[in-house]
């Protein structure tokens, strides 16, 4: 099944559920039919929700057909949409039942999702899509500290981060001299910015500090056994999920070992789990070469095309050894 890249929040939720601690105790006498995970995305043409039947354990899934009919109702127009279900395989090779419907959720509309079993037992959730927002980057290409204004106030900003689409640049003079240069290694690094916002009259304000973030990028490259001194930059992306007022798990964490327990957090009526409403927002830019070099990124190989008698170009690189635990 095609899964759009911008649904990072839904995929994160699905991955969390797929990796739940299997030590959770069996349910006794539980008559609620389903656990639901997903959200309506106003930026997506296709909506998705993962559905679990509640049998012996919460958060487990069985292969084969599932006894469920999924519908959604736009409460502003009374339009009812029936969703199609299929069994899918996730990145970690686990399987699950995902229902999808081809429609775009409208800003500021409320929706009710109903998942009905053949005996009539139903789990439901109601959500409201937040109003639209806009993102303003102030002279981003020419700044090391970039002011970011979010105009509009969604109830929640979730997973605010700055993604550095980076790549290692191999030296122009590989060691030993004459050996082929190794290809570059792509490694995008996400730096969290949640909780760093400041309120404004019409929204929120962030300061993206490229120099401070570059230290995080270097540390990540080092941990992945890649040179922290030969990092090039393709683009920077500021992104977040604008979410409804129900997107408020305990401790601000979607920890499945908390959310799966009865009585903790759920906006699902006669069921468990979470079904929210929102949309992803993303703005990207590429700083000038002057700014990139000032921050620490390479804009070309670390050595000139012609060999020079400089320490950086003549000393062999230090090897990077992974800790194998032996």
- pLDDT tens digits along 237-296: 999 999 988 776 555 555 545 544 555 557 899 988 888 899 999 999 999 999 999 999
* Paired tokens of 167: 């790549």
Residue 84 confidence (pLDDT): 96
Find out whether 43 and 5 touch, Cβ atoms under 8 Å.
no
Query: Which candidate, 37, 8, 16, 15, places its Cα nearest to that of 276?
Result: 37
Sign of CA dihedral 154, 156, 158, 161: positive
Q: Alpha-carbon distance 145 to 143, whole Å?
A: 5
- Alpha carbon dihedral 261, 265, 266, 271, in 10-degree steps, equals 20
Residue 94 confidence (pLDDT): 76
Residues 152-165, mean pLDDT to the nearest whole number: 92
Using the predicted structure, report yes or no on whether residue 60 has a pLDDT greater than 90: no
Q: What's the half-sphere exposure (Cβ side, CA atoms, 13 Å) at 260? A: 23
Find out whether 116 and 80 touch, Cβ atoms under 8 Å.
no
* Paired tokens of 210: 């490229």
**3-state DSSP of 69-107:** EEEEEECCCCEEEECEEEEEECCCCCEEEEEEEECCCCC
Look up the pTM and report it. Answer: 0.74
Mean pLDDT (the chain) is: 80
């Amino acid at each position: 099944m095609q899964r759009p890249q911008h649904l990072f929040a839904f995929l994160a939720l699905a991955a969390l559920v797929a990796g739940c601690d299997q030590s959770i105790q069996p349910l006794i006498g539980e008559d609620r039919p389903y656990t639901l995970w997903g959200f309506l995305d106003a930026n997506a043409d296709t909506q998705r929700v993962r559905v679990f039947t509640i049998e012996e354990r919460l958060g487990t899934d069985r292969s084969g057909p599932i006894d469920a009919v999924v519908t959604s109702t736009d409460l502003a127009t009374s339009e009812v949409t029936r969703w199609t279900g299929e069994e899918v395989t996730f990145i970690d090779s686990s399987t699950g039942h995902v229902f999808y419907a081809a429609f775009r959720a409208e800003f500021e509309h409320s929706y009710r999702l109903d998942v009905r079993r053949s005996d009539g037992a139903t789990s439901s959730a109601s959500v409201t899509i937040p109003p639209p927002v806009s993102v303003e980057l102030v002279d981003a290409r020419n700044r090391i500290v970039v002011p970011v204004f979010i105009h509009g106030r969604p109830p929640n900003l979730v997973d605010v981060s700055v993604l550095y689409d980076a790549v290692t640049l191999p030296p122009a003079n590989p060691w030993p001299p004459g050996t082929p240069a190794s290809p570059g290694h792509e490694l995008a690094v996400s730096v969290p910015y949640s909780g760093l916002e400041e309120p404004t009259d019409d929204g929120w304000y962030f300061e993206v500090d490229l120099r401070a973030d570059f230290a995080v990028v270097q540390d990540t490259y080092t941990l992945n056994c890649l040179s922290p001194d030969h990092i090039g930059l393709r683009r920077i992306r500021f992104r977040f999920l604008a979410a409804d007022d129900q997107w408020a798990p305990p401790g601000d964490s979607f920890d499945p070992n908390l959310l799966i327990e009865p009585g903790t957090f759920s906006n699902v009526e006669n069921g468990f789990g979470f079904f929210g409403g929102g949309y992803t927002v993303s703005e990207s830019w590429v700083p000038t070469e002057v700014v990139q070099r000032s921050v620490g990124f390479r804009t070309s190989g670390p050595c000139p095309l012609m060999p020079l008698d400089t320490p950086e170009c003549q000393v062999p690189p230090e090897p990077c050894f992974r800790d194998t635990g032996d």
